[in-house]
Amino acid sequence: MKAVLDKKEIHTLMKKKGIKTQKELAQSMGITKNQLSVMLSSSFSPIKSNVSNLADVLGYDVLKSIVPVNEQLSTLSPKKDIRNEMFPEVPIDVSNVIAKRKFNALELFAGAGGLALALEQAGFNDVGLVEIDKHAADTLKLNRPKWNVINEDITKITADPAGIYKYIPKSCEIDLLSGGYPCQSFSYAGKKMGLDDTRGTLFYHYAKILEQVKPKMFLVENVKGLTTHDHGRTLKTMIKVFENMGYKTIYKVLNAWDFGVAEKRERMILIGIRNDLNITYQFPKKHDYKPVLRDVLKNVPNSPGQRYSDAKKKVLAQVPAGGYWRDLPENVAREYMGKSYYSGGGRTGMARRLSWEEPSLTLTTSPSQKQTERCHPVETRPFTTREYARIQSFPDSWHFSGGIGSIYSQIGNAVAVNFGKDIALSIINSLNQVN
């Protein structure tokens, strides 16, 4: 029996996954475009010769016997898709979700507390928050003196024989491990995509603590780019490590703007459920209303903020609300942008002034960088630290420690609170199902 891949069917599947070109598909697979072209040619057979001979004897129906190993069930039971049953595609309205009890959360890479505050609001009890940066750790202690803030290098924690239990009670059952480790690549030569292959990365230490505390669920918040980092191989390795530890996972890129945050901020959310738990997880449903800057920047308390240089201020003063470098006179734009003026792409973040009727672009850790300006809609200046906090949906009662540069960095790196709360409530909905 000769078989080929149906190009029309492949294109249909690509469309469902949001993959627009064969080049993009090849990158996601970790192969070259030429290798993919060979696979889709009429001379390529996706079935090994012995299987082809088997089909010649038993007929085409033999192909129905091919199932993924991790989904293969007993022939005595009807075939079911376990993964789809555990992770229904329909999003859940979390507005009425209430925790049945206080669930324990352990947070790594806690930063200034955006996610920690969101977890608290959703009904979690933080039993420990690991953060290496002194100013961020001081922010956590300032706002929640009773929290167990662990101002320590996570590599030292995992190197200690007691591990995380040097800092939290060993009798404490962890319902959720959360955190957003920096995205770092791995070397794949001769690797088997196991935990040891990720040594030297902060993901390794997240996974080591996951292995130690064995929580019911875990949450990873990370940049959108992790989904395509190194052609998807980095994330694939992480997921394989989680699977080897006994967890089923699902991930999705979500935009904070869809969840009550006046900011376009796309983040990858990865959720894991321990294999022994018969529970489901659904991502939160998007809000009907998407806020804009006018909604969140009313009566903002006074606070310090960076200022533009006189030269930059003179340029940005010529940009209208909602505009960017293309709204400048050509000679001004060319001089201001330098070599970037002749590069490709829209570069819409350069010389950018926001408007009241739109959300902020993703806040950076420094508000006056040349490539990523976020100029105030009316005044020719960056947002103040308190305006930064409002955009990230921190309450005015949440105060930040450290100098102005550190505060901008803490807020820019934080999980937007309203966004984090919806994610936390969606997890609460799953934990409520545990008997």
Residue 375 β-bridge partners: 353, 382
Catalytic residue check, 375: no
How many of the other CB atoms lie within 10 Å of CB of 353? 22
202, 181 in Cβ contact below 8 A? yes
- Alpha helices by DSSP H, listed for 18-101, are 22-29, 33-39, 49-58, 82-86
**CA 194 vs CA 241, 244, 354: distances in Å:** 5, 8, 45
Return d(Cα 161, Cα 69) in angstroms, integer. Answer: 36
Return d(Cα 156, Cα 225) in angstroms, integer. Answer: 28
Strands 124-130 and 149-150: parallel
* Residue 34 phi, psi dihedral angles, 5° rounding: -65, -40
Strands 266-274 and 217-223: antiparallel
What's the burial of 16, exposed, middle or buried (CB within 10 Å: 0-12/13-18/19+)? exposed
Residue in 142, 122, 124, 175 with CA at minimum distance from that of residue 418: 122
SS3 371: helix
- String of DSSP letters for 229-277: GGGGHHHHHHHHHHHHTTEEEEEEEEEGGGGT-SB--EEEEEEEEETT-
SS3 35: helix
Torsion of CA 201, 202, 204, 208, to 10 degrees: 160
26, 35 in Cβ contact below 8 A? yes
Of 183, 262, 351, 414, the active-site residue reads 183
| H or E element at residue 120 | helix 114-122
How many of the other CB atoms lie within 10 Å of CB of 435? 5
Half-sphere exposure of 132 (CA within 13 A, CB side): 8
Residues with catalytic roles = 183
